[in-house]
Amino acid sequence: MEFFGHVIDGAEVKSSGGETFTSVDPYTREPWAEVALGGAAEVERAVAAARRAFDEGPWPRMGRAERGRLLHRLADLILEHADELGLADTRDMGKPITQSRGNDVPRAADNFRFFADHARLTTAETLPMDSGHHAYTRYEPVGVAAAIAPWNFPLMLETWKIAPALAWGNTVVLKPAEDTPASATILARLALEAGLPPGVLNVVHGYGPDSAGQALTEHPGIDRITFTGESATGRVISAAAAGHLVPVSLELGGKGGNAVFADADLDNAVSWSIKAIFTNAGQVCLAGSRLYVQRPVFDEFIARFTAAAEAMCLGDPKLDSTQLGPLASKTHYRKVRGYVETVAEEGGSVRSGGLGDGWFVRPTVITGMPATGRHQREEIFGPVVTVTPFDTEDEVVALMNDTRYGLNAMLFTENLSRAHRVSARLRAGTVWVNCFFVRDLRAPFGGAGDSGVGREGGTFSREFFTEPKAVVMQID
């Protein structure tokens, strides 16, 4: 079995008491990696290392061009190790290799390139004042950022947090999800190879409550918490952050609505709607898990959509031909299975799909589910979609907004006015029109309601990872 350690102060290390846990490959359902299991002691060492690297080390004092050069070097190394990184996430959580190696790895590299360049090119306001003074703004690093990540896009989401934090001169302690530890250790090894000084990027493995996660969020030595995960965990982390007045960014769950109007290009709508719910076996915060189809095209859409769902290739996620892998863990499989098994008792019917072998759930299409049912209200986080007909624009806007989440929404229409009108009425951090999951790192990303607090991306990440300072000078 491969071993993945913590990375603290420039070295890959074991836990002080030698504790470990294993990561299970959800396709073989066998352990494939042994991982150092950290707790408060390892968090203490990591925060101390990050603090030293911030207070005394070269990283925050380095010019932005030099920091950017090192982060671009890290991006190069990520791409050079695409096979290793992609396979690590695939073995940890069953994501098809074409998605981990083919999508997440390049996006991880791009995160470092983008935020390095963004920090370097950022301008700051200068304010001429009538009083014979002028004021200017400095964006200064904040110190030690704690990053806590989920298991569904391990490398991509971790780098989404780490890249802006580092680009702005902070140091980082990352706690990856316990189901997906491997790519984080590989990333930290590559960061050292790229020349990032010791202590700048630290990784501590472990669980959440009563373990490394909780110890990190409650540690008095951290200056920011950036968290992505479940809404319930977000509440706990928000309370921990409030305990020591640390700003927190929360990217939480979702229950994305997806409206297909009768005037949509149906080929396009079917193709994106399939991706919206079945990419990564539906284990996507942005999943289009509530699909609404205008009545005149409902039957035709359902026929085409279920045919495309049934044509998906399930199998070994390590193969290029596989489009849908198993669910990420036994616990998660059992949760999703619970939803599939209760469709009839909740008033719906399964049009296609259902349970597969091992920890597989086939692409599952449900109709007839009441809007008040669990399947329409709770985040299933699997390849399971409810499809509901609608008649009017007002009706579908009300249905889509009838959720405690507010992360994203999709709509398909060829009517330009409708596209703008409906986009404005939806309560969502991102609205995709005639597409899905297309991202520009300058755009705000985040959600309303139970989907989170704050935004990431471009200037939004800068606001979070810096302390803007006003300097006021007398001219005469």
Do residues 77 and 51 touch, judged by C-beta distance below 8 A?
A: no
Q: 42, 158, 285, 456: which is the annotated catalytic residue?
A: 285
339 and 379 Cβ atoms separated by less than 8 Å: no
Please provide residue 36's backbone torsions phi and psi, each rounded to the nearest 5 degrees.
Answer: -65, 135
* From 83-91, 101-109, 142-150, 359-367, span contacting ligand NAD (CB under 6 A): 142-150
Using CB under 6 A, which residues numbered 277 to 316 contact ligand NAD? 285
State the residue for tokens 């400095």.
138
Give helix then strand counts, H and E, for the chain: 16, 23
- Joined tokens for residue 82: 């695409």
Q: Which stretch binds ligand NAD (CB under 6 A): 196-204, 227-235, 347-355, 410-418?
A: 227-235
Least separation in angstroms between CB 201 and ligand NAD: 17
CB nearer to ligand NAD: pick between 252 and 340: 252
List 408's β-bridge partners, or say none.
Answer: 430
Distance CA 473, CA 455 (A): 32
Q: How far apart are CA 38 and CA 374, in angstroms?
A: 36
Select from 253, 326, 382, 383 the one that contacts ligand NAD (CB under 6 A): 253
Among 163, 188, 252, 270, binds ligand NAD (CB under 6 A): 252
Residue 233 or 413: which CB sits closer to ligand NAD? 233
Catalytic choice (251, 379, 393, 456): 251
| Per CB under 6 A, 214 contacts ligand NAD | yes
Among 59, 151, 278, 432, binds ligand NAD (CB under 6 A): 151
- Please say which residue, 72 or 335, places its beta carbon nearer to ligand NAD: 335
When the beta carbons of 145 and 194 are compared against ligand NAD, the nearer one is 145
Continuous segment of H or E residues that includes residue 419? helix 416-425
Active site residue 125: no
- DSSP per position, 49-118: HHHHHHHTSSGGGS-HHHHHHHHHHHHHHHHHTHHHHHHHHHHHH---HHHIIIIIHHHHHHHHHHHHHH
Q: Alpha-carbon torsion 91, 94, 98, 103, what sign?
A: negative
Interaction between residue 378 and ligand NAD (CB under 6 A): no
Count of residues that interact with ligand NAD, criterion CB under 6 A: 33
Of residues 44, 178, 223, 393, which one binds ligand NAD by CB under 6 A?
A: 178
The reply to whether 435 belongs to the active site is no
Residue 205's alpha-carbon distances to 37, 246, 367, 467, in angstroms, are 6, 22, 41, 29
Burial of 424 (0-12, 13-18, 19+ CB in 10 A): exposed
Residue (of 36, 152, 31, 1) closest to 89 by Cα position? 152
Among 96, 254, 326, 449, binds ligand NAD (CB under 6 A): 254
We find the least distance from the C-beta atom of residue 406 to ligand NAD, in angstroms, to be 10
C-beta of 340 vs 407, nearer to ligand NAD:
407
Among the candidate windows 8-16, 170-178, 354-362, 387-395, which touches ligand NAD by CB under 6 A? 170-178
> If binding is defined by CB under 6 A, does position 249 make contact with ligand NAD?
no
Residues annotated as catalytic (active site), given as ranges: 251, 285
Residues that bind ligand NAD (CB under 6 A): 148-153, 157, 175, 177-178, 207-209, 213-214, 217, 228-230, 233, 236-237, 251-254, 285, 379, 381, 407, 447, 451-452
